[in-house]
Amino acid sequence: MRRVVITGVGLVSVLGVSREQIANALYNGISGIVADPQRLEHGFHSPLTGHIDGFDCARHLNRKQRKSMPDFAIQAHAATLDALDQGGLAPEDLRSERCGLVFGNDSTVQSVVDQQAALLEAGSTSGMGSGHVFRCMNSTITMNLNVLLGNTGPSWTVSAACASGAYAIGQAADQIRLGRLDRVVCGAAQEVNWPSVCSFDGLGAFSARTPAEAASRPFDKGRDGLVPSGGAAALLLEDYDTARSRNACILAEVLGFGCSADGETLSVPSRTGLARAMRMALTEGGLSAADVDIVNAHATSTPQGDAAEAANLRAVFGADCPDVMALKSLTGHELWMSGASQVAYAVIMAQAGFTAATIN
């Protein structure tokens, strides 16, 4: 089996739109969560949301390029370019059958809302414009990136709810490990808007705590729900020998990946499923629980979810569990993006030599 390394990461995040901004927010405990009064006007119980500041889709791509892209796909393109740049590559370097794209995504709600509005305004489907169909497809990120980057290798979208980004990394790594591909850009994105999360609010899943920056409280006794968030994350994965042959700076190595389904309920997490996935990852990586120095927890700040995660961590690591960091205290829950973004954040912190505190 071939070794898989990470040579670049890029993010458009509520913590910043550059690695430097994000590192500063992680180091200093600067929250990316705000209160949005518009959500209360639309009947939400909670106004809280992650907020991306400093990224203008209209400045990143021209109108023609944006025609078929929702905002989060544009953000994914920006994150991809940043990851390639850090890795010392250009889009032209992906134009090979030995390179691929794998991104996670599980919704295009705002695009569907916009499509319905366009139909009502036009009075006929023939007057809606051609871009809507591509904005509404779950594969909108990868199909648009293929065109913008000129990718001719394999490309697909992973749809696995909040695990989408993690699955994208795991599947990309497998393609390299098995010798099918030499280089893969992988990641995930999540739309940040009120229509995409209104049903979550209706379920009472969101925190109603104030002030906003104190609302997301992973593992805290007083936690009362998650804070929705989003953006985009991209990682450049390469075969170790391929990276070494071009003198690339190796940021991290993907040693193992594990996944499992609870097989019980749709929304209540299992107290055994996560432990199975962690053990699979450790086994694939040739590691034991004692080899782990720190855990980057999912920890969404929900009463049931965090309790289940803590039980699973204890099942794997025992009473001597390593330190646990819960980045969603800073970012909120980035949903489909979170599995990829938390790996990207971890790479940024490892390169800078620190781990972020859980701020609440």
Nearest to 6 by CA among 87, 61, 73, 79: 87
Q: Is 255 exposed, middle or buried (0-12, 13-18, 19+ CB in 10 A)?
A: middle
Q: Catalytic positions, please? A: 162, 298, 333
Distance of CA 83 to the CA centre of its chain: 14
Tokens read off for 114: 């916009």
DSSP characters over 273-305: HHHHHHHHHHHHTT--GGG--EEE----S-HHH
Residue partners of 17: CB distance under 8 A and separation at least 6: 11, 52, 53, 54, 55, 78
Q: Which helix (H) or strand (E) holds 44?
A: none
Spatial separation of the C-alpha atoms in residues 108 and 356, rounded to whole Å: 31
Distance of CA 168 to the CA centre of its chain: 10
